[in-house]
Structure 1
Amino acid sequence: MSTTPGLVFSRLECSGMILAHCSLNLPGRAPPHLTNFSIDSGLRFHYVAAGERGKPLMLLLHGFPEFWYSWRYQLREFKSEYRVVALDLRGYGETDAPIHRQNYKLDCLITDIKDILDSLGYSKCVLIGHDWGGMIAWLIAICYPEMVMKLIVINFPHPNVFTEYILRHPAQLLKSSYYYFFQIPWFPEFMFSINDFKVLKHLFTSHSTGIGRKGCQLTTEDLEAYIYVFSQPGALSGPINHYRNIFSCLPLKHHMVTTPTLLLWGENDAFMEVEMAEVTKIYVKNYFRLTILSEASHWLQQDQPDIVNKIDMDISKRRNKKKRLTFFYLLMQGLCNENLQQFFKKLFINFFMYYFGKKNCV
């Protein structure tokens, strides 16, 4: 299969998206939604954005082996309501990839997201993470709850659930065996790249692990986009170094989540047992909703984009409605002074008595 950027560029441009590497072909002419910026660490991050600046921020964190393109359906869907930003995480795609393994510790990845929000000019966001991006999203919500308005995680349990479950359930230990395989130097990168990235193709297309829903299966051009990104020199080492540092801060000392949380799960996930999703709720001290989609794979936002997008939007609207009701409740409970509170009480009593045809009693 060819990995020439021209073919990929023409395919994605026709779809209304621009692949990250297209700016290499068009120096100085990258479209406005294709952006690079530096954060305090000195690293240059790449992201693709949709929606007007000034709208609430929705930040999308991809998993492995993915890059911003895995969020193509969500970029289109949510741009009318949000400023939607799909990152290439540290070491992925067009984002800088430090050489040393220690540069991928979890605390570095968490700090990246904090600095990225600052660089984008936001103090908080709706945070959505899939797979490894879900792990980072959980940690952000735990460490910086003030930064997360709503947390949506796709196919990754609370980190403490994962570490405890994997030790007690051999089936999950087997499914997560690649975590241990990735601890080996250089060999995992070699295995991923041989035979024209056969392993990568298998993950997305096989009956056991891939996207099975008709109409959402990756096209030849989609696969070529993935292969192009991961075929660049050193492009696999950064992503795999994420896993080489997974034990750097687990289990967590502080683990409770106080952010409204939605957990989405594909029932046919070949890598994560669904029981972990059901246990996760004990770590969320706020609104929590678990939605398990039958006949859906691990790659949920690409496998069932219409359903995922609808659920995400529903949860956003529900929380906004609840926020308005909460404000009304707090107002009536005395956040305002007592005279104003009595005024509102009389006003509402008069309104309801008048509405139901009763005699005014105030």
Structure 2
Amino acid sequence: MTDFPLTRIALPTGVELDVAITGPEDAPPLILLHGFPESHRTWRHVMRHFQDRYRLIAPDQRGFCNSSKPEGVENYQPKHMVADLLALADHLGIETFTLVGHDWGGAIAWMAALNHPDRVTRLVMANAAHPFTYQKALFDDPDQRMSAQYITEMRAPDFEDKVRAMGWDAYFDSRFAEPSAAVHITPEERAIYLQQWLTPGAFTAMVNWYRASPLIVPPAGVEVERPAYLSRPFPPVTQPTLLYWAMDDYALRPSLLDGIETLVSDLTLVKASGGHFVPWESPETLIAAMEDFLAA
């Protein structure tokens, strides 16, 4: 197990984040954003590998672990996490940076890159769905729509009660149901996850990310009207972008790559085997792809 010390940082956005920071202060900065249901630790292998050459900053994002958990679903709208990201960079004296994202962290990274190209110079994305292709696939791809029904379940007001009735061990097994993930989780890692989820207020705060998201998840097997904006052009991401995609991801299907080259003008796409939790399931292959991309 590779852990990094955490620094508590109060931000002008009204939250305090625990942040893992390693690497030379004067080295090029990489800010790494985790997804659900994780923490900065998802990047532990990547951070250990690159800490001799880069300044690596990996926060526990708002709502997760011991970082602040403001009450109210509205406090988990994506714009707030983007604001946290920029405030964190400002606090550390970082003007521009490479942004690395996985899962929900990738969603925040896409949004930050689109809205703040003056700050985000490059993107490294690991199984992180582009917001346009994700919304489009939820209307056009029945398999992706079926895979996303868990979001509707999580948005229900009694979801936390259902999880408690199910039992935390059973819920844990459902979150890491893909065999590729299950075989990589040791009893020690399992205990860390459960401890983080059971931090007071953390589970509701984590779920509130889904409740606050503007993403439309249509019911499976039902004809629904397709939003007109899905047929209109979408602004391109202009930063050089590495998109690493593990093709056996059940939650995020390969259809999410359809048309991605029209949405990212400088794209390096790497397709690989493996499941959703790329940063610790397949760290060696992700690191190899990052080495090539960052060197270029």
TM-score calculated relative to the size of structure 1: 0.74
Post-superposition CA distance 1:85-129 (Å, at most 9, x none): 111111111210101110111111111111111011101111110
SS in 2 for 1:292: strand
Instruction: Find out whether 1:110 has 2:82 as its counterpart.
Output: yes
**Does the C-alpha gap of structure 1 residues 86 and 114 become closer, same or farther in structure 2, counting only changes over 3 Å?**
same
TM-aligned CA deviation for residue 188 of structure 1 = 2.1
Instruction: Find out whether 1:288 has 2:255 as its counterpart.
Output: no
Letter in 2 for 1:264: Y
From 222, 231, 242, give the equivalent of 2:189.
Answer: 222
Match of 1:297 in 2: 275
Match of 1:35 in 2: 7
Distance (Å, rounded) in 2 between the aligned partners of 1:248 and 1:16? 35
From 183, 187, 192, give the equivalent of 2:163.
Answer: 192
Post-superposition CA distance 1:206-242 (Å, at most 9, x none): 3x36416x6xx11100111111000122211111111
Post-superposition CA distance 1:24-81 (Å, at most 9, x none): xxxxxxxxx4101111122101111111212111111011111111111011011011
Q: Is the 8 A contact 1:176 1:271 kept in 2?
A: yes
Q: Is the 8 A contact 2:27 2:55 kept in 1?
A: yes
Distance (Å, rounded) in 2 between the aligned partners of 1:165 and 1:196? 31
SS in 2 for 1:93: coil
From 211, 236, 248, give the equivalent of 2:181.
Answer: 211
Distance (Å, rounded) in 1 between the aligned partners of 2:198 and 2:235? 37
SS in 2 for 1:146: coil
Identify the structure with bigger relative contact order (alpha carbons < 8 Å, sequence gap 6+).
2
Q: Is the 8 A contact 1:52 1:82 kept in 2?
A: yes
Letter in 2 for 1:159: P
Matched residues, number: 282
Distance (Å, rounded) in 2 between the aligned partners of 1:133 and 1:124? 18
Matches within 5 A, 1:61-100: 61-100=33-72
Distance (Å, rounded) in 1 between the aligned partners of 2:188 and 2:201? 22
Match of 2:223 in 1: none
TM-aligned CA deviation for residue 279 of structure 1 = 2.2
Distance (Å, rounded) in 2 between the aligned partners of 1:248 and 1:121? 33
From 223, 232, 235, give the equivalent of 2:202.
Answer: 235
Matches within 5 A, 1:136-147: 136-147=108-119
Match of 1:128 in 2: 100
Distance (Å, rounded) in 2 between the aligned partners of 1:189 and 1:277? 32
Q: Is the 8 A contact 2:32 2:59 kept in 1?
A: yes
RMSD over equivalenced CA pairs, Å: 2.0
TM-score calculated relative to the size of structure 2: 0.89
Unaligned regions of 5+ residues in structure 1, if any?
1-14, 19-32, 319-362
Match of 1:338 in 2: none
Unaligned regions of 5+ residues in structure 2, if any?
217-226
